[in-house]
Structure 1
């Protein structure tokens, strides 16, 4: 016979490891005790199946969460690439650059959004900004730039 802790570990391993063969029902038990033991073993098997089902569900949800994160990252990377392409186009031809950004839903066709894009000027050629503003009517941007 082992120590109490050894018996606890052994019992726990038997409970958690379905591969372990279930010992036969001892003959020295009363019919009521034998029935109770069978009920306990049946319930144990049901619980093990529930545990396995929950493990599978957790693994599935974890996988979906990981895929969702990578999908969002890909969308952000794609969007950043398109914005960079729009900036390059803007620097070569401001009208075409703005049109590209609007067509790809990276910029709204409003004076406020365009003014904000030009005001931030990240990666934009100052001469191209001046050319674009020189081609547009002053009223289009006047209200937007006054709020900066």
Structure 2
């Protein structure tokens, strides 16, 4: 039998042991290939799911930004109709922080607010609004401006209310800020 094996090997025929080993190796390779292809398919599906989740999250974020912008616009409209209700709406919807500085910055920097509404809101006497008024006035820079220029700049940011007590509070806050920005302008 040994010579038959040798002869079949020499003439291009593999011995039966080699053929069985090759078939076994081929079958193992085929199974490994199928396992790898299955794993690749699972990974593709997982990647697709992750990409879908990311897209959903991005769209939710965009929707939240749109909703936030619409609420902010609504708050500005409410402020223009009734300043107290407008500020309350903005605070309740977490569009403003309930601090004098944040509210003052909103009143000072936000476009499209009714200047009469700003004046009426700032002119009230309650303690919190007086802090807002001070923060609002502190946002103005009066350094190196003469009194008339500074007053024009200040009055450009809102309209004075009609009530004398409100005007007095606002002018007092202006005077304190003007003097702190221009030390030594007025001599006693």
Normalised by the size of structure 1, how large is the TM-score? 0.76
Match of 1:49 in 2: 38
Deviation at 1:105, TM superposition (A): 1.1
C-alpha deviation, 1:138, in angstroms: 3.5
Alignment RMSD: 1.7
Following TM superposition, by how much is the alpha carbon of 1:145 offset from its aligned partner in structure 2, in angstroms? Answer: 3.5
**How far apart, in 1, do the equivalents of 2:138 and 2:52 lie?**
49
- CA drift at 1:122: 1.7
Deviations 1:44-101 (A, max 9, x none): 0001101100110010000000000010011111111110000000000111100111
TM-score, reference length from structure 2: 0.60
Query: 1:124 Cα deviation (Å)?
Result: 0.6
Whether 1:62 aligns to 2:51 is yes
* Residues 66-81 of structure 1: pairs in structure 2 closer than 5 A: 66-81=55-70
Is the partner of 1:118 in helix, strand or coil? helix
Q: Does 1:93 align with 2:78?
A: no
Query: For 1:118, which of 59, 82, 107 is the aligned residue?
Result: 107
Q: Tell me, which stretches of 5 or more residues in structure 2 are unaligned?
A: 1-15, 141-188
Secondary structure of 2:119's match? helix
The corresponding residue for 2:175 is none
Deviation at residue 140 of structure 1 after TM alignment: 3.6
Which runs of structure 1 show a deviation greater than 4 angstroms over 4 or more consecutive aligned residues? none
Q: 1:35: which partner in 2?
A: 24
Pair 1:130 & 2:122 matched: no
Structure 1 position 147, deviation (Å): 4.6
Residue 142 of structure 1: aligned partner: 134
Q: Is the 8 A contact 2:107 2:136 kept in 1?
A: no
